[in-house]
């Protein structure tokens, strides 16, 4: 039996600094993807708090982690809703900044048969600065966790990774959406967490093993690849450790990867063995796809343990 996240004492828990995006998700279910110029009837429309950064912050907090969110919101109704969603999940919002010059980020999500297609308008997410990162890391120190993604400007993510690494934090990067520019940041990344398609882009090959070798050659020492319904795999050098998935009926996969990353960060912050943290993260991600919405679908720790107990 894997070690639970809450088996570790509160004193030993490290902080998690989350640098990333905050978006209001506008979601609609469609029978199929419309063709050019075509109008079709959808249903189940909802607006729900999202953004990869915010989703991962909520997931880490619901897993019991001590999470601070660094991000930028617009001075509008969506911004207020997003901040309130974080606060209600226990995320420290001291390092969230409001920018009056830009609207809050928006994601248009079309769900077809449980899978999704997403269109982003970065909005205020693009206004993050190095000063924002400096503030968020001001109280962090050796052993704390830094987690980011790529929905905010790459130069800010690169700066955050470099500064966090220099302060002795454990750095995690979820390279989503993937682009080759982030490869230059790999030297500051302790754990890279792509999915299969992101690995293919970063590794410049559709062959899994070749892509892994290319990413490792770029400086990645520890790689965790999420494999959807096939689970996940930890790759260190030539060693591989596979973690099985949990079989569920998918309703909406929007927050699955973010749930995995947040729960993984929480586990690491409590000193849990990385494969145990991956196992719990896998269960949490599986549970998240059984409900619609991004942050709405992210389960709390007790629900994940109850789910695991029934397996």
Placement of tokens 């220099």 in the chain: 166
Q: How many CB atoms lie within 10 A of CB 43?
A: 8
Any idea what the Cα angle at residue 208 is, between residues 204 and 213, rounded to 5°? 65
Computed from CA positions of residues 234, 240, 241, 244, in that sequence, does the dihedral angle turn out positive or negative? positive
145-148/170-173 β-pairing? parallel
Is the CB of residue 197 less than 8 Å from the CB of residue 228?
A: no
* Catalytic (active-site) positions: 258
Is the CB of residue 54 less than 8 Å from the CB of residue 85?
A: yes
Computed from CA positions of residues 76, 177, 54, 300, in that sequence, does the dihedral angle turn out positive or negative? positive
Placement of tokens 């690491």 in the chain: 268
96-99/66-74 β-pairing? parallel
């Amino acid at each position: 039996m894997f070690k639970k996240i809450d088996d570790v004492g509160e004193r030993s828990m490290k902080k998690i600094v989350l640098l990333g995006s905050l978006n209001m998700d506008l979601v609609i279910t469609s029978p199929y993807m419309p063709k050019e110029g075509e109008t079709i009837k959808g249903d189940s429309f909802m607006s729900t708090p999202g953004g990869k950064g915010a989703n991962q912050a909520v997931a880490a907090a619901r897993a019991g982690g001590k999470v601070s969110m660094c991000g930028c919101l617009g001075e509008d109704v969506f911004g207020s809703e997003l901040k309130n969603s974080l606060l209600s999940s226990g995320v420290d919002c001291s390092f969230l900044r409001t920018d009056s010059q830009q609207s809050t980020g928006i994601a248009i999500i079309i769900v077809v048969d449980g899978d999704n297609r997403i269109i982003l308008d970065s909005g205020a997410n693009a206004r993050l600065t190095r000063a924002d990162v400096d503030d968020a890391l001001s109280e962090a120190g050796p052993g704390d966790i830094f987690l980011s993604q790529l929905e905010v400007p790459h130069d800010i993510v690169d700066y955050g990774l470099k500064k966090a690494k220099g302060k002795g934090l454990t750095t995690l990067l979820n390279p989503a959406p993937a682009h080759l520019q982030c490869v230059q940041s790999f030297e500051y990344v302790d754990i890279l967490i792509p999915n299969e398609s992101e690995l293919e882009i970063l590794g410049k090959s559709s062959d899994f093993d070749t892509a892994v070798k290319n990413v490792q050659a770029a400086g990645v020492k520890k790689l965790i690849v999420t494999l959807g319904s096939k689970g996940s795999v930890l790759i260190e050098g030539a060693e591989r450790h596979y973690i099985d998935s949990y079989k569920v009926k998918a309703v909406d996969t929007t927050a699955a990867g973010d749930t995995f990353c947040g729960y993984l960060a929480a586990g690491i912050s409590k000193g849990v063995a990385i494969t145990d943290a991956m196992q719990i993260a896998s269960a949490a991600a599986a549970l998240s796809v059984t409900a619609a919405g991004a942050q709405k679908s992210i389960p709390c720790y007790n629900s994940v343990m109850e789910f695991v107990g029934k397996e």
